């Protein structure tokens, strides 16, 4: 008996210690600031799919005491990754050159990585699509954790996709919430809100079922026991009111669920744009002109 008690006590002590250390570790690391309210889709779930095989998407991350240093460390991490992918061996001198369009920082910046190995020079082109950062507090001080989405060339002349980023989801979220309340919110990244909406609808539906069952029960007793008709009638009316309140609340929550699903912003997601194509079609007519078309 004593051995059993000692074993149980030991297990409780170990479990308590694990919980305590986990709590202390969680409290020691805290996110104070971040670039977005929610992490983008390319970070939490999956990167966009490429439209051609000349490049691929690559996520890199780095951490440093300042945001600029963290961004620079991301470039260094990308350089090391490229060296591994292209199987660059030996001592390599890396020269990171940044190209900007129209002299200004744009949504996607092009970086050329030049590797000099003996007398051979290898150049790999990359483009920066998006970044997300968090300022994390540690016991020793705060540090920036930066995540960057790059496009990395697989051939000398890549055809990088044109991406734009949006927090709007249009009717996609509303259609899901129309079928299952809260699904649209979860699809857009607001998991807690979606679970609360779904849980609220389930509780209200349960309240409707229970209150209607009790109302019907008291109506039945009212007919079976005429002496207590007034008492049962009052109770039946009360439960009918409860049922109606639950129905109204469920309807209001459902409408809010639809409005929120279509209006509120979600996680930032990537939108892939089709490449611009230029075509010329000669036309024979009175003007003998040349017509052209831009296909988007």
Q: How many residues does the chain have?
A: 296
Q: Residues 256, 248: contact at Cβ < 8 Å?
A: no
Nearest residue to 58 via CA among 34, 74, 71, 70? 74
Q: Residue 87: what pLDDT?
A: 75
- 3-class state of residue 2 by DSSP: helix
Q: Residue 107: what pLDDT?
A: 45
- Identify the burial level of 255 via C-beta atoms within 10 angstroms of its C-beta, where 0-12 means exposed, 13-18 middle and 19 or more buried: exposed
- How far is residue 123 CA from its own chain's centroid? 33
Q: How many CB atoms lie within 10 A of CB 38?
A: 18
Q: Residue 232: what pLDDT?
A: 85
Q: Residue 193: what pLDDT?
A: 94
Q: Residues 63, 143: contact at Cβ < 8 Å?
A: yes
Tokens of 219: 């109506």
Q: How far is Cα 173 from Cα 170, in angstroms, rounded to an integer? A: 7
Place of tokens 């006590």: 9
- Helix H or strand E segment including 184: helix 183-187
Q: Residues 109, 125: contact at Cβ < 8 Å?
A: no
Q: How far is Cα 292 from Cα 279, in angstroms, rounded to an integer? A: 6
Q: Residue 254: what pLDDT?
A: 96
- 3-class state of residue 139 by DSSP: coil
Q: How far is Cα 99 from Cα 187, in angstroms, rounded to an integer? A: 36
Nearest residue to 187 via CA among 108, 257, 101, 249? 257
Terminal C-alpha separation, the chain: 79
Q: Residue 111: what pLDDT?
A: 84
- 3-class state of residue 102 by DSSP: helix
Half-sphere exposure in the Cβ direction for 146 (13 Å, CA) = 23
Residue pLDDT tens, the chain, 296 long: 434 433 434 544 444 444 444 444 444 689 899 999 999 999 998 889 999 999 999 999 999 999 999 999 999 999 889 888 877 765 555 556 555 554 444 445 788 887 777 677 778 889 999 999 999 998 888 999 999 999 999 988 899 999 999 999 888 899 999 999 999 999 998 899 999 999 999 999 999 999 999 999 988 888 888 878 888 889 899 999 999 999 999 999 999 999 999 999 999 999 988 765 544 445 444 555 544 444 44
CA distances from 225 to 4, 65, 71, 166 (A): 58, 79, 79, 65
Can you give the pTM of this predicted structure?
0.69
């Amino acid at each position: 008996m004593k051995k059993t008690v000692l074993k149980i006590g030991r297990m409780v002590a170990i479990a308590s210690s694990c919980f305590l250390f986990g709590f202390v570790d969680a409290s020691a690391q805290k996110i104070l600031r971040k670039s977005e309210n929610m992490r983008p889709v390319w970070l939490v779930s999956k990167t966009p799919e490429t439209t051609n095989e000349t490049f691929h998407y690559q996520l890199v991350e780095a951490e440093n005491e300042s945001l600029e240093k963290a961004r620079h460390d991301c470039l260094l991490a990308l350089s090391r990754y490229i060296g591994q992918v292209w199987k660059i061996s030996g001592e390599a001198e890396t020269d990171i050159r940044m190209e900007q369009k129209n002299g200004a920082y744009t949504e996607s910046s092009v970086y050329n990585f030049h590797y000099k190995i003996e007398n051979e020079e290898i150049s790999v082109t990359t483009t920066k699509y998006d970044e997300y950062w968090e300022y994390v507090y540690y016991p020793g001080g705060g540090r920036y954790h930066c995540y960057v989405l790059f496009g990395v060339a697989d051939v000398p002349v890549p055809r990088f996709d044109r991406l734009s980023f949006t927090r709007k989801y249009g009717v996609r979220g509303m259609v899901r919430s129309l079928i299952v309340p809260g699904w649209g919110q979860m699809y857009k990244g607001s998991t807690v809100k979606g679970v609360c909406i779904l849980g609220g609808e389930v509780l209200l539906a349960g309240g409707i079922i229970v209150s209607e069952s009790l109302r019907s029960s008291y109506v039945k007793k009212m007919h079976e026991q005429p002496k207590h008709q007034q008492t049962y009638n009052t109770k039946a009316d009360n439960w009918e009111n409860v049922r109606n309140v639950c129905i109204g609340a469920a309807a209001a929550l459902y409408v809010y669920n639809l409005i929120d699903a279509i209006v509120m912003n979600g996680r930032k997601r990537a939108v892939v744009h089709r490449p611009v194509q230029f075509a010329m079609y000669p036309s024979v007519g009175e003007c003998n002109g040349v017509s052209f078309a831009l296909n988007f």
